[in-house]
A and B are shown apart, each in its own frame.
Chain A
């Protein structure tokens, strides 16, 4: 258990509304990541963070923004949700002394 929680775990929203997902970690990991998972695509990186206020884009970053104002929280915002953003979103962290990523339990988002 890498001490990762995600909230909410499930959300239904309407097209055009902003949505924020939260990833919280309790073990002071430097690197945090947001992925989305869709059938046939595996997991694709949206954004990642390598420290407080340090973030960078992944391969599917359009329509998403992130913020990391403190070590333990990494927020993913859908500025104006679209149906194509219906997906399962996973947060991951990298352990400080290891190179492997550990994943949170996921947030299932449905955009109507």
Chain B
């Protein structure tokens, strides 16, 4: 079946540093999504990418849909303590079809 490899598995960074995480797949996806999950809550959508090569920003977050359609990255600039949580990438083949999730990146920030 389709699988997503998300890395790194966890990160422990200083407040103010930039963060980068990525997902790769052996399969092509038409949509890439990035979610953040806080403890005890459901994942919340951060950024959605619909076209190969697309670069999209949401505040301090920037994500790109890889040209090959098999990868995506998420950057967080100038991290702050509230950025802690688990970040998930997800790929979707077509509208209404199921998502395939990466295992998540745990982000911890030192204040």
Contacts and interface: CB of A to CB of B under 8 A. Distances in A.
A45 B99 contact: yes
A106 B41 contact: yes
B27 to A, nearest CB: 14
Nearest to A56: B98
A48 B41 contact: no
Nearest to A33: B98
11 contacts: A33-B99, A43-B88, A43-B99, A50-B96, A90-B43, A94-B95, A99-B92, A102-B45, A104-B42, A105-B42, A106-B41
Given A48-B98, A50-B96, A100-B45, 16 more contacts: A30-B96, A33-B98, A33-B99, A42-B104, A43-B90, A43-B101, A44-B101, A59-B1, A94-B96, A99-B95, A100-B31, A100-B48, A101-B92, A101-B99, A106-B41, A106-B42
Interface of B: 1, 6, 31, 33, 35, 40-45, 48, 50, 88, 90, 92, 95-96, 98-99, 101-104
